[in-house]
Chain A
Amino acid sequence: MENIYKPYLMEIKEIIEETSDTTTFRLAFKDGSIGEKFDFKAGQFAEYSVFGEGECTFCIASSPTRKEFIECSFKKAGKVTTALDRLNVGDTIGFRGPYGNYFPVDEMKGSNVVFISGGIGLAPVRCVIDNVLDLRADFKDITIIYGARSVDDLVYKDKLEDWKKMPDVKTIVTVDPGGETPEWKGEIGFVPAIVEKAAPKAENTYAVVCGPPIMIKYTIPVLLKLGFDEKKIVTTLENRMKCGLGKCGRCNVGNVYVCKDGPVFTYEQMKELPQEY
């Protein structure tokens, strides 16, 4: 029988400790033939599992243009992420996916892109950044604005350094006031304020926005004030999920299933949704 709930097995190839509570796994399919066939698009998510502990949901953080491995980043928060956090290189986890819709990367070609993210919200954005950078010639100006509570809470520090060095990418990294260290050379301020200060031009520009709900809430008015098109502000919704397949009945926002109709939504779509996320 075809079992939609049965996961693939993946091996942890590398573990990167991003912050005190956030970890990135680099994963490879145990069965190489699945790895060769496996395809996904930036923004899609998966169900990751530790056998005996259960499953949990997060995005695929690596870019679909980089096929050798899959990366995911998670924050130690609940039962399964705590169990994941205890694993070592060489351990096996379960993986079901990819699920959900994706960022409109093809549609974004020929435009400027501004990436705005906060905290671990950089994970879903990172896969689009890498995707876009791998097809750099297809896009115009690229701006990355990323913030975290403190210097210690910044994830993907190596990536941030790489992006800063790129001459054709404008990268702004900020920490919340009070989160800076004496050596900190980046910006100090909340993400919405930094976006306002950077004032990216809105014409022919897509904004990809992911982060804590409070950051999204205050960033969108800034973008609208700058003149961004509601259709070109793209974000992801996170709701608790179990199946990821549009059946178990808990991730819905009104009649929209985040797992099937999302997780990627434009602001134009999002503002029509009831407040249930």
Chain B
Amino acid sequence: MEEKIITKENLIKLSTDLVNEGFNVIAPSEKGYTLLQTDPLLSLSDSQPLPKSPFKGYLFPKTEPLFYYKKGQHDYEFVDVNLQNVKNIFLAAKPCDAASVNILSKVFNWDYKDEFFDIRADNSLVISMACSTSDEYCFCTSVGLSPVSTKGADLFMIPLAGDKYAIRIVTDKGKSFAEKYSKYFSDGNSVESEKVLAGIKAPEQSFDTAKVKDWLDKNFESEFWNGIAATCLACGQCAFSCPVCHCFDIVDEDYSYKEGRRMKNWDACQFGLFTEHASGHNPRDNQAKRYRQRISHKFKYYKDKFDEVLCTGCGRCTRGCPVSIDIKEIVTEINNLN
């Protein structure tokens, strides 16, 4: 893989240029993935822990208008949403978040193309950084990723000694970016960066997704689910903090009986009303069935349909769970049931 070097000083200059050119430069901070316009790059740290929320919301917002409608003189008129000006650069993104882009792209494109996601994803550049901050909740290595995975990244940063970074070019998009801003880069070789990568501690692998799927294939009905779901409060935190959960609702917001907008909002399979029919019938009428859906969607259905595990092992669902439901523990248990 082609490798370049950028000094921290040049990285700051490059980011300033990008901001001036109208890009949203988004980097991890204590608050989450935040815009550099509001958080100066000087705070960019090589040992920034995993942000509380992923950057998914920049590609697939919590709430977004699909179109605006207005009752005109004769009939309803639509006003479209323009996304062409949204240009995001995710800088120093965590590898577990970078991986989400390719995974999400599958569901948004497998048949009908959801351009609300596609335009944002096409206009984005992902520069991920080798992660040295994994903790006891992380399990990227169990889902086929690692702290040094380049999946989903266009460029991959490796912090080197002496306030500089090795930049590996992963995609063509990354290559043209490096060419466009070549004045900030110098040529590098992988000797030093390989040493840094070799020194990064990865979380231990806890389960094998093939074995997990094997159990899920055979155990739709199982007592196992009742035990797990007993404490779940159905708050949906796990889905909203997940880099790859993508369920949504479509609702109208009316301003004045004459105009309004149709919205696409995040939704979660843990909510009781998620699958409830207007008749009152609910195919997933208790939390055990809803938790089974969550785990099965991630480790079986998505794999069946798109050959991807719908999980990047970031562990946010566990970190944020108010009743300490631990996905790594649960999936490891499923692994061991086999």
Contacts and interface: CB of A to CB of B under 8 A. Distances in A.
Nearest to B70: A51
A239 interface: yes
B39 to A, nearest CB: 31
Interface in A235-260: 238-240, 242-243, 245-255, 260
A9 B278 contact: no
B267 A51 contact: no
> Which 4 residue pairs across A and B have the least CB separation, nearest first?
A52-B254, A78-B278, A249-B247, A77-B278
Interface in B251-306: 251-252, 254, 257, 260, 262, 264, 267, 269, 274-279, 281, 283-284, 289, 293, 296-297, 300-301, 304-305
Contacts of A52: 252, 254, 257, 260
B277 A242 contact: no
Nearest to B301: A255
Contact of B66 (A5, A238, A247, A260): A5
A277 interface: yes
A272 B231 CA distance: 31
Contact of A240 (B83, B220, B251, B276): B276
B309 to A, nearest CB: 14
Given A5-B66, A54-B252, A246 B304 contact: no
A55 interface: yes
A54 B251 contact: yes
Given A52-B257, A54-B250, A243-B248, A5 B262 contact: yes
B278 A2 contact: no
Given A51-B76, A92-B76, A274-B221, A2 B250 contact: no
Contacts of B277: 238-240
A142 to B, nearest CB: 30
A47 to B, nearest CB: 8
Given A3-B66, A5-B264, A250-B275, 14 more contacts: A1-B80, A1-B83, A1-B84, A2-B115, A3-B116, A6-B78, A49-B252, A81-B278, A242-B248, A243-B248, A247-B107, A247-B108, A255-B296, A260-B111
A238 B277 CA distance: 9
A255 B304 contact: yes
A5 B80 CA distance: 11
A36 interface: no
Interface string B144-182: 000000000000000000000000000000000000000
Given A245-B112, A250-B247, A277 B283 contact: yes
Contacts of A152: none
Given A51-B260, A250-B274, A9 B114 contact: no
22 contacts: A1-B81, A3-B67, A3-B115, A4-B112, A5-B66, A6-B66, A9-B76, A49-B252, A52-B257, A92-B75, A94-B76, A240-B274, A240-B276, A240-B277, A242-B250, A242-B267, A243-B250, A245-B112, A248-B250, A249-B269, A250-B275, A252-B293
B283 A249 contact: no
A277 B279 CA distance: 13
A213 interface: yes
Given A253-B283, A276-B283, A247 B76 contact: no
Contacts of B75: 9, 30, 92
A255 B249 contact: no
Interface string A92-113: 1010000000000000000000
A134 interface: no
A2 to B, nearest CB: 6
A8 B248 CA distance: 22
A255 B247 contact: no
Nearest to A277: B283
A49 B301 CA distance: 30
B2 to A, nearest CB: 34
Given A3-B115, A52-B260, A246 B76 contact: no
Nearest to A248: B248
Nearest to A274: B220
Nearest to B115: A1
